[in-house]
Structure 1
Amino acid sequence: MPPVQHSLTVHLSTNVTDAVLDAALTAAAELWWPGDRRPRLWTEPVPAPAASDAAARRRAAEASRPVASGHRLRAVLLRYGDERREGAAAAPDLVLTADGSALDARSLRVVARVLRGDLAPEAVTPLAGPLPLDLRLDEETRRLASALALTVGRYEGASAVRVAVPVPARDRPPYALGALDGYAVFAADLSPGRTVAQLLATEPVAPAVGEEPPSPELMASDGPAVLPTGPGTLPVPARQVDDIRQQLLTSTPNARLSQLNPLSEAESAEQLALGARPAPPASSLRIDEAFAAQVAARPEAPALTAGSTTLSYAELDARAEALADGLYARGVRPGDLVGLCLPRSTDLVAAMLAVLKADAVHVPLDPEHPADRRERTARDAGVRLTVEDPATLTGHPPRPAAPRGEPGSPAYVIHTSGSTGRPKGVVVPHANVTALVDAVREDFGLSPDDTWTCFHSAAFDFSVWEIWGALLTGGRLVVADHWTTRSPEDFHALLVRERVSVLSQTPSAFTQLAAADRTAPDPVGIRLVVLGGEPLDVRPLLDWFDRHPEDRCRLVNMYGITETTVHVTAATVTRRDALAGSRSVGRPLPGWSVRVLDAHGRPVPPGAPGEIVVGGAGVALGYLNRPALTAERFVPDPLDPAGRRLYRSGDLGRLLPDGTLEHLGRIDDQVQVRGFRIEPGEIRHVLLEDPAVSAAAVTVTGGDAGDAAAVRIDAYVVPAPGAGEDPGPVRERAARLLPPHMVPATVTVLPALPLSANGKLDAARLPAPGTRRGPVTAPAPAPAASAHEAGPAAALAAIWCDVLGVETIGPDDDFWDLGGNSLYAIRIGTLARERGLPGVPLRQLYLTPTLGALSEALARKT
């Protein structure tokens, strides 16, 4: 917190001279502070009229400039450009600024009276202080403190706010000098349901010994035009504090605090307009209609590649028509839901298109998910048919011609996790997907010259962007199979081999790909990288920019939600953003809107946190067969005469004055730790700023039985290349940057963070906190058929101990049961090659997951 200081602007008469004023200041200082460092008068010309905006800015700048170390007081005389003009009435201003630890605000006013000649310096009494404080607040100060606390609470999204209230010293002599007056702490409870009377009844308390005043302070009437709030937020305009104060004069005692609003109607309207992007003229088409236009324009152009097979647009269209005929023959009719349980392949994409051609709705079921989960999802959706083998749909007569549904009819249902354990099916219409492609087509330069990849599961909505972004713009889509997506080196080789130009990745997956790119012999030729699906930490991108300059490869960070059709906002990430650690996710896409609202649906002030609410072209139709949940999350837009709905995301964000959005994590990520509300995302951000850390996760556990002391914060970090594996320095640095209640109890070092099938952090698979890789004990070698096999077995056991963080490994221990994952598998393969063993393909770990079986398999390769 910056040092407290006080400032006062004194208007002088037109005939005052610098010499007289300087002499008065010197004489008074010698009398009050003999032998100490004394202030001097500084005279500064202001080449502007006294009543101009430029002059006002200069006075404000002088008032806020810090007092030099070791000085009590700074005095600056400002002489304006119109002061000596004939007939002008402009007079100079004297700006006095005092160190708050030496002089309080009343002392500064006494100094001003002496320098203006209204008071003899001999009448002034310098005192060392401190004196006892009077903690009683007059009615006006109490209202002002309440208004400040309430306004700051709205800006910071906090239900408990502490502000400093100036209070006078008791028994103070009338013309005393010193830091005699003090402050009290006004701790306001702004919890839901609190009333005006309860807030105004708050009693101030004396600060603890040595406690600094909480920020913001309650400023005097001659203070600055804005009041600073906490870190990361914008200043609070004093006018809004005054508006709230007026509402506290006029409100009834039982009025809820939630009824008071620092924003006027005009300001609220400005905030709503700030997050809206009008849509460009677009053709409202179904997905299959937009694809048919590409077939007509470029029938022989390559559309889809999987392995050694490439289908042209005409061939893909014919394949989909044949499968649509099979769907009809199996009883599928318009509006029916069809499950697709197919691996990433040409058949998967053709089957998706076939379902749409049949005017049905496809429900992706990831074959890599457990069978029970797939069955539960299919049962929840009420699918008429699940396609697991496309061969069953071939060889049927053509279906009868029939008109297809409107662009607003459902195209697909993707299920997302639910808090109750029951997945929620999100129903998305055709028009949303075609609108998404139209919204970015020109900005991203999407064209038939592009080659895309299909990297993500069809059950993850990022795949919707990949598949239709390519096929609705005439590009070629390259499907990466399961094993290729699990190997960054193999995926990198595919990008080079297929000359991919547009890549979509989660940040976690992109981190692995970037590491493979550092050591690959051939660089990728990607021109556009779209990052989404999870929050992006931009600092690690600096290394990518070194190899792929911004003028050759554009990185775009997109914030999105399944319920709003994949993407909502876009921000081009630059090297400058990476250096600054930007959290911006950019502005809404054309046709989309973003609002940041409080719990009562009102716009929050500029830069204040609130719930991100999305409107416009991407809002889905709702949750499948969940009317109550749909009504809760998909709410009417009061500003839309057409009656379209908004989606309440449950995400926390802030809308900045330039219209860009900062994503701050989930609202329900907020937790209580020893009475403090914290965001784990802030702790993670601090960890990621450490050069020794390349990835991080934060968990908050304990306290389930109401024991607040049992709540603990634990951190998990992945060391940066070349960094040590001792977590001590990482925690020590965090302790320097975070308040005590936010410092992790433990920092666990991991070779990689566990990821889900969608490339996101899988928190359930994090190890117990406090474990870290240490020196490897000498494990017994796994039993082998010969002495020739004993060497690789012992070396492999040591690698497993190193990566998995366990002390010993037995021959029957299963890699996956020990907490292994695809990232650990990559690490094991790298270490195996470094230690002279054959590489360990991920496929091999699935086939032979125990140490003994894997050792035997590797021994056969040597």
Structure 2
Amino acid sequence: MNPHGPTAPPTLTRMFADSVAAHGDSPAVSDDSGRRLTYAELDRASAAVARQLIEAGVRREDRVGIHRERDVDLVIGILGALRAGAAYVAVDQRYPKARRELMLRAAGVRVTLVDAAGAEQLDPGFNPLVQRYDPSVGAPRTAGPDLPEPDGQDAACVLFTSGSTGTPKGVVVEHRNLVHFVTNPELPRLTQADRVAQIANVSFDTFHWELWSSFWFGAEIVMMPSVPDLVKGDPGRELRRRRITALLSPTMAFNHIAAEDPDVFSSLRILQTGGDVVRPAACRDILAGKFDGELVNLYGPTEGTTAATAHRITEVLHDATSVPIGRALSGVLLHVLDPELRPVPVGTPGELYIGGAGVTRGYLGDPARTAERFLPDPLGPPGSTMYATGDLVLERDGVLDYLGRNDDQVKIRGYRVEPREVERSLIAHPGVLDAAVLPQGSDQDKRLVAFVVLQGRTTVPQVRAHAQATMPDYQVPSEFLNVPEIQATPHGKRDTAALLDLLADRGRRRSGYTAPATDTERYLAGVWEELLGTERIGTDDDFFELGGNSMLAFRLSRRIARDNGAFVTLESILSNTVLTDMAAATDAAPRKGDDT
């Protein structure tokens, strides 16, 4: 049953107002601090923030930055921005300061909602405004004379994706786009009794499903640790402790967790994944375990509003090499075209173009890039556009399989990354003469390797520190190689093969190599080689310097417990990253059958 009647509301603010009317006394949002607001309380709080923004000069279609911790107040601020008629620009506080400010500057925010600590972190030019409201003051549930009602074609938010020119692209998402997505009948249906985990990066588009789908159905959104923090702990215990019933897991985390403990998801009623290539074995293991809910694979770029296709997974054959991305959501037009924009025959690979109600406005302040990717849709209504995804797909029996990219863009932990943007950030360091960034590893464990030409006394650690200070962690290369030059082919193009030969040579010639000596060291070296795709692991090698990350460390912890019976915590792995230290920690760890 549609909780809002036969027709979807035209805007997010109207959708929320309808939910307040229908579920006023039901819990709407809660966080780790113990705060829990009902829909009526959230209505009053967000209206107060909306008035605060209007008093500060915010008008329709202005952009409001959201720069604060992941808590109940973050949700209040987002709703307040929308109810003031503005679009929100949420920035993850885990991002380096330079990246956060770049996003806010590119968005042209009028003011930025902050907490008291955040006010001191931002340059005054971003107009930090400490978010305030008085919960005891009532507020009308409808727009009222002082709260403007946005139009469906007004901007709701600006989300940033990686850009090949070195600058992130701000995608303008309209109210109508988000309403179309969260009300889509092809997606799993929540209920008022559901508790939806909020684990996504607030700058990432899967946050849309967590927040607005919860509000559409009158469910409760539960603010939880972000994906990296969740994986570092015990995700199954956290999901059970918070009584989570619905989760949208980034594919990277989904693949890693399922590889080591597929029953982590057993308490869920709805499990969705999206953002990258799903491992068939991960789905097989989950379906063969204790999970008895709805399992769905979603596909879609930010420019198409989070998801354009969905595939309900009920079975994965033993010899399957891929998991389909599925069929179009209701109201979405899919075109598989050749380079001349002609439809390809069924069963022939082609580039996927997305049309329909989910196609966003384009890139903020960048008409040239918008015109390049947002094209007239020949099969849509007059004046409609389609988005060129750059993704290659193949249609079989009306279902799409994802084949890869037709450009250099890659997915790192579910995030779109343009290696050229990373290169430009590295070259911005005064000690870097040239740089090349190449993706390595499988589709499920993709990582970046940076080849840098240094000058003067510049060192690789200095360049790594520069990368960590200017880019989100998923854009920071896992490995850095200092090379004499970036070679070119006779045709003047970058000699990728020569760079990869240098990478292989480094693996064979790492200085100071000491072979593993104990059984535990040899066992761990073998597991590292499998997880990291690196050969010749020595006792002095560091797990993270060779490309490890928190999710691979999670898999390593579970693998050690399964193979050796040693309970090495994730914290212990993070504290003992050198092989010989990790081996000692493994030998000292409690084991199955111990009395402790």
TM-score in terms of structure 1 length: 0.49
Instruction: Give the deviation of 1:372 after TM superposition.
Output: 1.1
Q: Of 632, 642, 651, which aligns to 2:372?
A: 632
Runs of 5+ consecutive residues of structure 2 not aligned to the other structure:
117-128, 412-418, 420-437, 446-470, 481-502, 591-595
**Aligned partners of 1:583, 1:828: CA distance in 2, in Å?**
25
**Structure 1 residues 477 and 642, CA, compared in 2 at 3 Å: closer, same or farther?**
same
Once the 2 structures are TM-superposed, how far is the Cα of residue 343 of structure 1 from its aligned partner? Answer: 3.2
1:302 to 27, 34, 39: 27
Matched, 1:765 2:482: no
The size of the alignment, in residue pairs, is 481
Q: Determine the structure 1 residue equivalent to 2:74.
A: 348
Q: Which of the numbers 488, 493, 516 marks the counterpart of 1:777?
A: 516
The reply to whether residue 529 of structure 1 matches residue 271 of structure 2 is yes
Matched residue type, 1:826: F
| Stretches of structure 1 lacking an aligned partner (at least 5 in a row) | 1-279, 671-679, 682-698, 700-711, 720-757, 780-794
Tell me the residue number matched to 2:131: 393
The Cα shift of 1:414 comes to: 0.3
Matched residue, 1:823: 551
Separation of aligned partners in 1, 2:357 and 2:329: 9
Structure 2 CA distance for aligned equivalents of residues 297 and 322 of structure 1: 21
* Residues 392, 713 of structure 1: alpha-carbon distance in 2 compared, 3 angstrom cutoff: closer
Task: Determine which of 371, 393, 398 is the counterpart of 1:659.
Answer: 398
Alignment of 1:458-607 (within 5 A): 458-482=202-226, 485-487=229-231, 489-515=233-259, 517-518=261-262, 524-548=266-290, 552-577=292-317, 579-607=319-347
Deviations along 1:603-630, whole A, 9 cap, x unmatched? 1222222221111110001100000111
Shift of 1:470: 1.3
Shift of 1:566: 0.3
Alpha carbons 2:174, 2:360 under 8 Å: kept: yes
How far is 1:553 from its partner? 1.8
Residue 444 of structure 1: CA displacement?
2.1
Cα separation, 1, equivalents of 2:315 and 2:524 = 37
**Residue deviations 1:805-838 (CA, integer Å, cap 9, x gap):** 752439xx8x755644213443565588768787
CA distance in 2 between counterparts of 1:718 and 1:624 reads 31
Distance in 2 separating the partners of 1:575 and 1:769:
39
Cα deviation per residue 1:737-790 (whole Å; 9 max; x = unaligned)? xxxxxxxxxxxxxxxxxxxxx9998794268448499995359xxxxxxxxxxx
Identity of aligned residues (%): 35
The equivalences for 1:290-369 within 5 A come to: 290-307=15-32, 308-369=34-95
Report the alpha carbon displacement of residue 642 of structure 1 after superposing the two structures with TM. Answer: 3.6
After superposition, the Cα gap between the structure-2 partners of 1:759 and 1:590, relative to the gap in structure 1 and judged at 3 Å, is farther
SS of residue matched to 1:320: helix
Distance 1:333 1:717 in 2: 44
Where do 1:264-303 residues align within 5 Å?
282-303=7-28
Cα deviation per residue 1:365-388 (whole Å; 9 max; x = unaligned)?
121111111111211111122233
Structure scoring higher RCO (CA < 8 A, sep ≥ 6) equals: 2
Distance in 1 between residues matched to 2:322 and 2:585, nearest whole Å:
47
Change (3 A) 1:581 1:378: same
2:524–2:583 contact (8 Å) kept in structure 1: no
Q: CA deviation at 1:413?
A: 0.5
Task: Give the whole-Å Cα distance in 2 for the aligned partners of 1:357 and 1:713.
Answer: 42
Q: State whether structure 2 residue 103 is matched by structure 1 residue 377.
A: yes
CA contact (8 A) 2:279 2:444 kept: no
Structure 1 SS opposite 2:375 = strand
How far did 1:645 drift? 1.2
TM-score for the superposition, normalised by structure 2: 0.70
Shift of 1:292: 1.2
> Judging changes above 3 Å, is the alpha-carbon distance between structure 1 residues 517 and 802 closer, same or farther for their aligned structure 2 residues?
closer
Secondary structure of 1:575's aligned partner = coil
User: Which residue matches 1:414?
Assistant: 159
Contact map agreement 1:410 1:429 (CA 8 A) in 2: yes
Whether the 8 Å contact between 1:586 and 1:661 is mirrored in structure 2 is: yes
1:363 Cα offset (Å): 0.9
Change in Cα spacing, 1:827 to 1:616, as seen in structure 2 (3 Å) is closer
Pairing 1:454–2:192 present: no
The amino acid of 2:226's aligned partner reads H
The change in CA–CA distance for 1:760 and 1:849 in structure 2 (over 3 A counts) is closer
Which amino acid is the alignment partner of residue 450 of structure 1?
D
Match of 1:615 in 2: 355
**In the alignment, residue 589 of structure 1 is paired with which amino acid?**
L
Contact 2:85/2:149 (CA < 8 Å) preserved in 1? yes
Q: Is the 8 A contact 1:506 1:760 kept in 2?
A: no
Is the 8 Å Cα contact of residues 825 and 842 (structure 1) preserved in structure 2?
no
SS in 1 for 2:391: strand
Q: How does 1:799-838 map to 2 (within 5 A)?
A: 803=528, 806-809=537-540, 816-817=544-545, 819-826=547-554
CA RMSD of aligned residues (A): 4.3
Kept after mapping to 1: 8 A contact 2:91/2:202: yes
SS in 2 for 1:291: helix
- Residue type at the aligned position of 2:148: P
Provide closer, same or farther for how the CA distance between residues 281 and 299 of structure 1 changes in structure 2, counting only shifts above 3 A: closer
Change (3 A) 1:365 1:797: farther
**3-state DSSP of counterpart to 2:345:** coil
In the alignment, the residues of structure 2 paired with residue 406 and residue 759 of structure 1 have an alpha-carbon distance, to the nearest angstrom, of 34
Deviations 1:138-158 (A, max 9, x none): xxxxxxxxxxxxxxxxxxxxx
> What CA distance in whole angstroms lies between the structure 2 residues aligned with 1:856 and 1:358?
58
